[in-house]
Amino acid sequence: MENLKHDIKTVLITREQIAKRVREMGQQITKDYAGKEIVLVGILKGAMPFLCDLMREIDLPVILDTMVVSSYGDATTSSGLVKIKKDLDSDIRGRHVIVVEDIIDTGITMAALTPILEKRGAASVELAIFLDKRERREKEVNVKYIGYEIPDKFIVGYGCDYAQKYRNLPEICELDNKVFAQAK
């Protein structure tokens, strides 16, 4: 990343650490769901790199699906509603669903989405989230699989963006202040 490295202040989690943790998560899921079929639901766009890596570490039959959602409501009184912009292609009735996300922050997106999927009659709905910014949580959410807990810092990479950019960084990074200054 000869060009992008000039925009990075700190690398918080390296490619090697990411790969190791994703492998462990895949192995845990393989154990926990032994004998079952899973529907992996990636929440676009942030989940893309993690979804691609995680599914290849799961040694079970996997059905891949995606959703695009946006949480909305005014900032002071978060409504906790999500708008589904792109829905699942598959019927999840009676199926074991694992929702895959890059990061959980306030928890508003996941707190709203999980009951929607449960109401559709899924046999189970669990969450696999690579980064957990627990300090920022506003809605309590039960996350079964967590990659790393991170402090309340704005990060990019491995799917996480700043103004839609930097998702392609293969590490979890903090951006250099000049990037924010240039954006103003």
Active site residues: 105
Residue 172 CB: number of other CB atoms within 10 A?
Answer: 26
CA distance 134 to 154: 13
Taking alpha carbons only, the member of 146, 178, 124, 144 closest to residue 8 is 178
CB contact set of 52 (below 8 Å; sequence gap of 6+): none
Is residue 169 a contact point for ligand PRP (CB under 6 A)? no
Taking alpha carbons only, the member of 134, 135, 151, 152 closest to residue 143 is 134
Residue 151 CB: number of other CB atoms within 10 A?
Answer: 10
Q: Where along the sequence are the contacts to Mg ion (CB under 5 A)?
A: 46
What token pair was written down for 140?
């309590």
Among 25, 29, 54, 104, binds ligand PRP (CB under 6 A): 104
Site stretch for ligand PRP (CB under 6 A), options 55-63, 84-92, 100-108, 149-157: 100-108
Is residue 155 a contact point for ligand HPA (CB under 6 A)? yes
CB of 181 to Mg ion, least distance (A): 26
With respect to ligand PRP, which residue has the nearer C-beta, 75 or 181?
A: 75
Do 116 and 71 meet the contact criterion of CB atoms below 8 Å apart?
no
Return the one option of ligand HPA, ligand PRP, Mg ion, none that residue 66 interacts with (CB less than 5 to 8 A, by type).
none
Site stretch for ligand HPA (CB under 6 A), options 19-27, 59-67, 80-88, 154-162: 154-162
Is residue 105 a contact point for ligand HPA (CB under 6 A)? yes
Query: 168: buried, middle or exposed (CB in 10 Å: 19+, 13-18, 0-12)?
Result: middle
| H or E segment to which residue 54 belongs | helix 48-55
Residues 25-54: x where in contact with ligand PRP by CB under 6 A, - otherwise, as a string: ------------------x-xx--------
Is residue 160 a contact point for ligand HPA (CB under 6 A)? yes
Residue ranges that bind ligand PRP, judged by CB under 6 A = 43, 45-46, 70-71, 101-109, 161
Residue ranges that bind ligand HPA, judged by CB under 6 A = 103, 105, 133, 154-156, 160-161
